[in-house]
Structure 1
Amino acid sequence: MNNKELCTVQPVNANLKVLSIDPKDIQAAMFWLVLLGAIVICLHEYTRHLTRRTRGMVSHLPTYKCLPFIGNMYKFFGDGQNAFHCLEDLTNIMEERGQPFVLWIGQCCFIVLSDPEEARMVTNNFLEKPYFYNFARLWLSDGLVTAPVPIWKHNVKKLVVAFSGSMVDDFLPIFNDQSQKLQMKLEAELNCEPFDLLEKYLAYTTLETVCQTALGEHDVTKTIVTKEYYAAFNGILELIFSRALNIFLHPEAVYRLTPGFKKFKRCVSVVQNVSDAILKKRRKEMEEAKTSKISDATTKENGEVKFKTFLDILLQMSETDHTLTEQHIKAEIDTIILAGQETIATAINYIFLMLGCKPDVQQKLYKEIKEVFGESKRPVLKEDLSRLTYCEAVIYETLRLFPPVPGVLRQADRDFKLKSCIVPKGATCCINIWGSGHSTHIWGSDALQYKPERWLDPNVASMGATALLTFSTGKRACIGKRYAVALMKTVLVHSMREYEFVSEADKMELKIDIALRPVSGHLLQVRSRSGVK
């Protein structure tokens, strides 16, 4: 192309008409814009009027700047890492001010508390859970975690028996068996590259354990412990949390129109198909036991007690309680898998990671295990559990700093006076479990240090029994605490007497996706205690 061609100007097509806008159209557009603006302003003022009393009652508490309609929700836009950084930030403000923190999610008031005494008062007086739990009810229906108070009260008294001290003792053979299987799997990792213990082994180990002890399902490798099931299970949790972080997806009618809801339904279908199969199989086994007049709950087989499982209790309840439907029983199956597998696996993972970056703590724990078991590789027995005091200290210290569930919510149905504020009727109380575990007001100036020895001090141990909020607190606290601690001790004994662990957990980065999970600095290395095998 030459310069003459570059300088050529093409004539304007005479047939093209110049765009013209009728002044009346401009006036109409301006009218609708002004009307829309007026409606938005009126709605904003109306919603503020509805919350004026609540705002006045919490005006002395620290909060973030609020935006119209969404409140402080803009702080949580993003992924789970951003949500964790927000948790850290508001926890630091609470620690500095020594007061609860207020969050406005839309026009809903959330009062964030970390004081254990106030947390206990709230959870004992308010049993109902807020609408956020409805996001999970599409999956868990009226299971123990999500059930309205009347249904929860009706069921919990009978179901708590499934995790009593005597029942946990009966579970020890399964705990030992699964812990030994995990220990054998770890042999493949000896002196290899760092790996993700949670994703590769722990999630499946705890899933198998929960299914065997709570559901009586022993052949789980083909039905539950599959990659498809685990992916669907994690997919549900991620979708629930991503919806919680997006205020525009909170209305049910809106969420059902999104691709996320379609994916949610697919994941729930995979998980519930498994629950359905477990339920049908166990119901058939119980019917066959009745026909042959065998008591499958109390008889002994091969010297081992056949205990009554969580699912057995549910099925027996359903025979006389017709409100306990098939759907509800399946929801309880999914609830117990969620509560047992997800939280316990996450907790054990943090314990190994902290031991890996604290060789002095790891050595003390190994020394205690040697004192209790000597050179024997025998199973953990009931009487061993109470002797593993430093092991218990390691567990509690890890759970203090790394709670698998960083917070729980309760709905206030009336004004309620705490020592720091008055909780207004209609507000949601958020128990900041993470913040409580990191508070110098509660644990002293060394609160951020990992020191299992603090739990060996009788004063701290007695205080910690109520100050540690990891298992929640109050009337709707976790019913599986004994179960979880016994399983953790058993896993640690079997693995620690064979291997040393190395990690860089002091550089760990975290995120929230229902549970508190690591995203970096969470890889583990395994070394033999008796040299390279």
Structure 2
Amino acid sequence: VLISLLLLILILTCIYFWNYIRVCYYASKIPGPPAYPIIGNAIFLLGLSHQEFTHAILKIAEDYQQNLGRIWFGPIPAIGASNPDIVQELLTNENVLEKAYLMKKAWNPVLGKSILTSEVPEWKHHRSIIIRGFTPIILKSYFKIFVEKINILIQKLDLELNKETPFDIFEYLSRTTLDSVCGSTMGVNINSHEDDGSSYFHAINSAIFFIIARLLNPIKLPSILYRFTRDYKMVSRSRDVTHEFTKKIISEKRKNKATVTNNKELMDIKAINSNLYKKPFLEYLMDFTENNSSFTEEQLRNETNFMIMAGYDTTALSLSYVLLHLAAYKDIQTKLYNEILEVVGDINVDLINVDDLPKLKYMEMVLKESMRLTPTIPLIVREPSQDIKIGNICL
């Protein structure tokens, strides 16, 4: 038995190293900076801030101006595509849907395994469930909540405008979008602009920061090394706060949740599209969890954390870029301002109606162009599930 076990281990080890040698061979065919064994290009990236890391990667892209470029994160190769045709070919390939190993490594220990890092079959299943809680009609029902949170933002900004010192508008936007997401999709008011709601705001911001910091530092990727870092202690605190907050929300929702008379209606997309179902997204997901044993309590918590993070951070970043562009192009700012006056007039924010939004055509163009120029997600990271041929290169 012992000999058979040793033989099995030897065979599996040989298969692993054979596959790794094969990966190294194909990666060597792709242009990129010289790399050292085991540590790869880590020596050039250690100790860099987020901004410095971005500049370093862009410098490598400039030095190796090819359709495909390669860099080693320790022993793991990362292939970057800059040619639009190649990017389209990869993103539309059914065999390139899996999320990258490095993303799972950094994300899952902090905010849990969610739709962002799930394997493809689980991702498809959860996506079909989650998307039902975000139809246009349901989103419209959140409009009054958005207006309420914007009013708070305006009051906060009015206080800053009377000061001569500069301030970070991203923090104000982040708190507003976080309140909006929690108030709409979660159905809870966390009031992150005040002290009682700041703990969760700081915790989830800290979690995002340390996830990115780990991704950008190859030395922090191995779990055995990461556990001895200061980052690990900080991220553990942030994780505990976010998980405790989510558990508290779910617990309170269960206590107050009204009895559903027809559970089948919850899974009826026609009922949702007919505006018969406008509960907060969290309540919808809780109902689904209770009626589907395959969707666990842990998955409910993880998806809730992801929806909060994805909803507030990307929106706040997009709005920050829009304001930056408007500040740089005063003519566009003036034209947009005039359109708003023409469509809704000089009225109180509370009187704005959701039906006015489609009339703001120029605003829509400004928002879309801003997101095109400065997307909130700089990289789309995928991992092929089988060999992919791009010209004469195998990925």
Q: Secondary structure at the match of 1:66?
A: coil
Q: Say whether residues 1:66 and 2:35 are aligned partners.
A: yes
Any idea what SS the aligned residue of 2:167 has?
Answer: coil
Question: What's 1:85 paired with?
Answer: 55
Structure 1 partner of 2:373: 401
What secondary structure does 1:408 align onto? coil
TM-score normalised over the length of structure 1: 0.63
SS in 2 for 1:203: helix
Could you tell me which runs of 5 or more consecutive residues in structure 1 were left unpaired when the two chains were aligned: 1-45, 297-303, 425-533
Report sequence identity in percent.
29
Contiguous gaps of at least 5 residues in structure 2 = 1-14, 267-274
Query: Quick check: 1:139–1:331 contact (8 Å CA) kept in 2?
Result: no
Write the distance in 2 (CA, Å) between the matches of 1:101 and 1:151.
31
Cα deviation for residue 140 of structure 1 reads 2.5
Q: Separation in 2 of the partners of 1:353 and 1:175? A: 22
How many Å separate the matches in 2 of 1:369 and 1:349?
Answer: 19
- Please tell me whether the aligned partners of residues 101 and 113 of structure 1 are also in contact (alpha carbons under 8 angstroms): yes
> What is the distance in 2 between the residues matched to 1:383 and 1:174?
15
Partners in 1 of 2:63 and 2:358 — Cα distance? 39
What corresponds to 2:7 in structure 1? none
Aligned to 2:387: 415
State the alpha-carbon separation in 2 of the partners of residues 381 and 101 from structure 1: 49
Normalising by structure 2, we get a TM-score of 0.83
Matching residue of 1:375 = 346
Cα distance between partner residues in 1 of 2:17 and 2:362: 53
Given that 1:233 and 1:267 are in contact with CA atoms closer than 8 Å, whether structure 2 keeps it comes out as yes
One-letter code aligned to 1:235: S
- Which deviates the most, 274-283 or 213-222? 213-222
Amino acid at match of 2:370: T
Q: Which residue of 2 aligns with 1:349?
A: 320
Pick closer, same or farther for the CA change 1:251–1:281 going to 2, 3 Å.
same
Cα distance change of structure 1 residues 383 and 356 upon mapping to structure 2, 3 Å threshold: same
Query: 1: distance between equivalents of 2:364 and 2:85?
Result: 23
Deviation at residue 250 of structure 1 after TM alignment: 1.7
What is the SS of the residue equivalent to 1:64?
coil
Distance in 2 separating the partners of 1:206 and 1:321: 31
What secondary structure, in the 3-state scheme, does the structure 2 residue paired with 1:395 have?
Answer: helix
Alpha-carbon distance in structure 1 between the residues aligned to 2:45 and 2:106: 17
Give the distance between the partners of 2:238 and 2:371, measured in 1 at CA. Answer: 30
Is 1:208 aligned to residue 179 of structure 2?
Answer: yes
**Residue in structure 2 matched with residue 436 of structure 1 by the alignment:** none
Match of 2:119 in 1: 148
Pair 358,340 (structure 1): closer, same or farther in 2 beyond 3 Å: same
Say if 2:294 is the partner of 1:323.
yes
Change (3 A) 1:418 1:225: farther
> Which has a greater percent of strand?
1
User: How far apart are the structure 1 equivalents of 2:170 and 2:78?
Assistant: 32
Tell me the equivalent position of 1:387: 359
Q: Structure 1's 423 and 342: CA in aligned 2 closer, same or farther, altered over 3 A? A: farther
For residue 272 of structure 2, what is the aligned residue in structure 1? Answer: none
Change in 2 beyond 3 A, CA 1:141/1:190: closer
Equivalence map 1:153-168=2 (5 Å): 153-168=124-139
Aligned partner of 2:74 in structure 1 is 106
Counterparts in 2 of 1:221 and 1:135: CA distance versus 1, 3 Å: closer
2:69/2:79 contact within 8 Å kept: yes
Q: How many angstroms does 1:225 deviate by?
A: 6.4
Distance 1:222 1:348, change over 3 A: closer
1:273 aligns with 2:241: no
Conserved in 2, the CA contact under 8 Å of 1:72 and 1:103? yes
307, 321, 332: which is aligned to 1:361? 332
Change (3 A) 1:189 1:282: same
Residue 247 of structure 2 aligns to a residue in which SS?
helix
More relative contact order in 1 or in 2 (CA 8 Å, sep 6+)? Answer: 1
The superposition leaves residues 153-211 of structure 1 with CA deviations (integer Å, 9 ceiling, x where unpaired) of 22110211222212222121112222222122222122422211112x11110010000
Contact 2:110 2:211 in 1 (8 A): no
Q: Does the aligned pair in 2 maintain the 1:72–1:105 contact within 8 Å? A: yes
Structure 1: distance between partners of 2:189 and 2:197: 14
Contact 1:69/1:107 (<8 A) preserved? yes
User: For 1:76-475, what aligned pairs fall within 5 Å after superposition?
Assistant: 76-77=45-46, 78-93=48-63, 97-124=65-92, 125=94, 126-132=96-102, 133-193=104-164, 194-199=166-171, 201-218=172-189, 220=191, 226-286=197-257, 288-290=258-260, 307-377=278-348, 379-418=351-390, 422-424=393-395
Deviation at 1:117, TM superposition (A): 4.0
